[in-house]
Structure 1
Amino acid sequence: MLQGAVTNSISYDRFVGGEDSQALIESDVIVPEDMPDAINVVAVVGDAVINEVIESDEKIQVDGELRLNIIYAADKDKKLMRINKSIDFTHFLEINGSKSKCISLVNARVEHVDYSLINSRKMNVKVIVNISGRAFDKEKKEAIVGIQGEEDIEYLKKTIKLSNIVGQNSAETFLKEQVKISDGEPNISRILKTDVVIKPEEPKITDNRVVIQGSVHVYVVYEGDSKDEYGYEECDLNYANFIEVPGALSYMRANTYERIIEKNIEISSDENGDNRIIDIELVLKTEALVVEKDETEIPVDIYGITRNVEPVIESIEAISQQERFKSQAIFKENVEFKNNVRKIIDVVAYPVLSDYILKDGKVLLEGIIDYNIMYIGDNGNPMSFKGEAQFKTFLDAPIDDGELFIDLKITHISYDIMAMKEAELKFVVDATVDAFKISRYDILADVKEIDEARSEENRHSITIYMVQKDDELWDIAKRYRTAKEDIIKVNDLKEEKVLAGSKLIIPNKI
């Protein structure tokens, strides 16, 4: 290294890799002894919960739990019954270059549920869970930032943009609410289905903390006391908490990732002894990722005017920009049933992302909505209808390229019976896209002095040079080992850009 060289460490985040994969989880479900026989399965509601993520060499291990809410029709009075079942799963994301020290983002969501009744006491359930992961690593490089006492050294400096992950942590928030059934709605016989939608607000950062707040919308479907009688109740639970992230400061930005890890919905009696109260207990887990944007100017090339010096240039790939984009879109689907529909009980739906692309400042998303309609047929029996609805949507994303991490959620479903065999469904799909722009930068890793005489071609006091196509003023100055500022001054240039075919006077200091 050249004597007098001043170095500094450049810290940056590097994208290691990612994978979008699917896990097939299959299980037989036995009807409990205290419950009646089944004549058909009407719906299976699945929820994938991530319990632990373990980063290791070349892979990321995802340990989770698939929670199933199985709704079936009983053989005696044709009433709907519910079975809860939990299945543990482990899935590996194969990511080349990942290490135990990596930072990872992982998401799991149910995409498709298939079920069949084997006999009156046994059913089979198959679930496809989409598991996506992205891995990042922190790197550090020593770079030359200057030479002490060398006035005849010329530098080419450029500004590099870096987006660094300052820290990552999580916190759990306990939510509790007691909801009274609205007047006019039936008493509760049993709860059939509960939908939970998290609505976070923009997080705020104070010193070493990420402040989170928002609400959780709970929608409950239940069966009343009488046959073919169903009730619906909904409420919002507000939350506020903070997550400790050492090094977080107010000017930084935080992305949060929320999921419900525990859900307990129970029925209780009111003062009259009627089942008209729903007790809701939830545990919300929020993960925060704090990001700092940095712009710094560093030398990327160097040469000496009176001495021969040779730069050692290395390239780095760094995350230069991290942005989050959100959108909401409504999709309609007309459904034609095979038989008459007396009443729609509810709709279970899952978003399936089949393709995505970042192009022309937009993220284009394409896929299907896998849905299952629970309804009462004209014979009075609970039935189901399965279908798929195509969707295409986009998000404005003013970023030219990058690695994407996408999450889709169906946040609302509505339905109307248009005729005895026809219905219209409306799905509200929320998309969240984290985009990571990856840039390649040259850094000055070392400078060596070469013991070599200056060539004769550069010993003239003045040289006339004709600018060639794609010539930069820096390249011309370096070729003739003169100061760029001297070329600008001698030629009375107003800017550094030079036109091909123009002539420049190249002053030489020797």
Structure 2
Amino acid sequence: MAIELIKESFKVEEKVGKNDIQTLVEQEIYLSASKPDIEKVLWAQGKVDILNTKLINDKLIINGLAKFNLLYKAANEAGEVHLLDLNKEFKEEIEIPGVNEEMLSKVYSKIEYIEWEAEDRKLSLKALVSLWGEVDEIKTITAIKGITNDDKLQTLQEEIKYREIAGREISYALVKDTINLREDESEIDEVLGLNLNIKEIESMAVEDRIITSAEVNFNLIYSGGNSVHSKKGNIPFNHFIEMIGVTEKLKGEVEFEVVEGSYEVMGNDLGERKSVDLEIKVRVMGKAYEEKSRELIIDCYSTTENIFLKREELLISENLKDITHMEKLNLEVPEIYAQDIIETMGTANLLEEKYIDDGIVVDGYLTVEALYIDRLTNELSVYKDDFPFRSEIDEMISYDTNYNVEVKLDSIEGVTRKDSLEIEGNILVKVNLSKERKIYCINEIQETGELINKKDKPSITIYIAQKDDSMWDIAKRYNTTIDEIITSNNLTSNEISTGDKIIIEKKVDSISI
């Protein structure tokens, strides 16, 4: 038979596994001599920086840094507001069976809550941190693209859809700018906080790189003129992620994370403390891929000779559709008498997603935190509460379709009213529809030299089709071809039903025994 195989290699991204844990981060700090005593803590914020990750057998090792900023009111006559910075390193392990050091990991984090207790000049803090780990493997598959001299060889092919990964890289952008306060704004006595987030504008793949445009949204909170103020703005920036082999026909996907934000208060031309130099380090994670489809040989037999097949198991996650939905929220909080909104922050939390009445229903809640100057007391006050939301997405899906839901706060703003606080927010709901498929791809066909004996078989065999039989199954069982069965039975297609009587005619090849 002299089979000649033409092979081709391609890369697929396989999901190895994911898991999550929670860890308690605890820290104590004693006030420095320059800080006044604490009357009460007004507000506590926190974020987690993932310093590094490591994969070993069945484990994802995470080294992280929990960063906390606490605003407190001083226990003195002035009652001014001060900032405390606390950092605490931690190390955790997430069990994910099947992972090893050659794979790729991604870690997400979230601070669920922060508790504190002030005693004398000591502050004790506890924070519950949730960590999610996902591990992927970029797998190189060698498949048979074509077969020559195969006139007696029958092949069954199946189409797969997959993302072929061209590259994954991490780089860092350094964003710099200077904030200049207006003439009518107070000088800066002390910076009380710098809140930063990144918003993507556009990303695209070009020759050997991904180009991304984004902006840093900042809110500088500071004390000055016996009051607390905020200065908001945005800093646009562009960044290039070098990725050899990438072309403009590929899709570029980018994620951002603020690694560090530093500032220095400077004097302006008049010597006033009204200029702040910002330097922001942003981690930019880029991936370039192409949505592809190809035919894979999943079964094979010869009508004249016994052959040996070598198979490789593939677990393919076929991306069916990406859905993006924006849920707008307009919330009114009564009896909040705000003179000025210093900061409004929020977190979108997913509670449950389910398939109901030909659609996907997403239930979650928005945690809102507002820092404001009370109009009645002229003091800094804090409001915090949770608000439920529901998104209904009409999408027809089959029973074996997987759906992965992600909710993210896209924007939030607090607006002062006469006797209430109005919260306007947009929650981005992203739904990915996919289908997990396990395929046994044939990547090697070997001749055995053992010819099939057809001489002792009857000239005609009547076969009654069983449940789940296919024409391929019958042709393979009797070492014939689908075309020969169709011809013998005067059929117009290869569709059969349970109970059909199928005629199998014996055809003895000259090389058969």
TM over 0.5: yes
318-327 or 474-483, larger mean C-alpha shift: 318-327
**Structure 1 residue 214: Cα displacement:** 1.6
Alpha carbons 1:403, 1:436 under 8 Å: kept: yes
Secondary structure in structure 2 of the residue aligned to 1:275: coil
Structure 2 letter corresponding to 1:374 = L
Question: Partner residue of 1:350?
Answer: 347
Residues 92-103 of structure 1 mapped to structure 2, 5 A cutoff = 92-103=93-104
Matched, 1:428 2:423: no
Query: Percentage identity across aligned positions?
Result: 21
- Superposed displacement of residue 439, structure 1: 1.8
CA contact (8 A) 1:358 1:401 kept: no
2:511 is matched with: none
- Would you say 1:272 and 2:273 are equivalent positions? no
In structure 1, distance between residues paired with 2:113 and 2:86 = 17
Output one character per residue of 1:443-482: Cα deviation in whole Å (capped at 9) or x when no partner: 23555645663485x531x555555544322223223322
The residue that corresponds to 1:286 in the other structure is 284
Alignment of 1:152-191 (within 5 A): 152-182=152-182, 184-191=184-191
CA distance in structure 1 between the partners assigned to 2:394 and 2:256 by the alignment: 23
Partner residue of 1:369?
366
Cα pair 1:326 1:395 within 8 Å, conserved:
no
**Structure 1 residues 175 and 182, CA, compared in 2 at 3 Å: closer, same or farther?**
same
The aligned counterpart of 1:36 is 36
CA deviation vs aligned residue, 1:468-499 (integer Å, no higher than 9, x gap)? 54432222322332221233345554433234
Counterpart-to-counterpart distance in 2, 1:238 and 1:220: 17
Q: Name the stretch that deviates more: 63-72 or 406-415.
A: 406-415
Paired residues for 1:18-29 under 5 Å: 18-29=18-29
Q: Does 1:220 align with 2:217?
A: no
Q: Aligned partners of 1:397, 1:205: CA distance in 2, in Å? A: 30
Contact 2:340 2:416 in 1 (8 A): no
Once residues 413 and 111 of structure 1 are traced to their aligned partners in structure 2, the CA distance between those partners, rounded to angstroms, is: 22
Q: Deviations over 1:260-299 (max 9, x none)?
A: 1111233333333333333322111101122233322232
The Cα shift of 1:29 comes to 2.8
The whole-number CA distance in structure 1 between the counterparts of 2:337 and 2:196 is 30
Match of 1:114 in 2: 115
Query: Offset of 1:21 from its aligned partner?
Result: 2.6
Please state if 1:487 is matched with 2:485: yes
| Structure 2, unaligned runs of 5 or more | 509-513
Letter in 1 for 2:94: L
1:471 correspondence with 2:472: no
The runs of 5 or more residues in structure 1 that have no matched partner are: none
Q: Secondary structure at the match of 2:483?
A: helix
1:187/1:214 CA distance change after superposition, 3 Å = same
SS at match of 2:496: coil
- Using the alignment, how far apart are the partners of 1:243 and 1:434 within structure 2? 25
CA distance in 1, matches of 2:118, 2:491: 83
Q: Judge which range, 397-406 or 378-387, deviates more.
A: 397-406
Output the CA distance in 1 between the equivalents of 2:153 and 2:172.
56
Residues 1:439 and 1:431: Cα distance change in structure 2 (over 3 Å): same
When residues 122 and 365 of structure 1 are mapped into structure 2, their CA distance, relative to the original with a 3 A threshold, is: farther
Shift of 1:99: 0.7
C-alpha deviation, 1:352, in angstroms = 3.5
Tell me if the contact between 2:405 and 2:432 (Cα under 8 Å) persists in the aligned partners: yes
Task: Report if aligned partners of 2:59, 2:97 keep a CA contact under 8 Å in 1.
Answer: yes
Report if the CA contact (8 A) 1:24-1:127 is conserved. Answer: yes
- Counterparts of residues 428-447 of structure 1 (less than 5 Å): 428-431=426-429, 437-444=435-442, 446=445
Check the 8 A contact 2:343/2:371 in 1, yes or no.
yes
Aligned to 1:201, what secondary structure does the other structure show?
Answer: strand
Per-residue CA deviation, residues 105-146 of structure 1 (Å, 9 max, x unaligned), is 222233322223223x22222223332221112345555666
Query: In the alignment, which residue of structure 2 is the partner of 1:330?
Result: 328
Structure-2 residue corresponding to 1:252: 250
If the length of structure 1 is used for normalisation, what is the TM-score?
0.85
* Matched pairs, number: 501
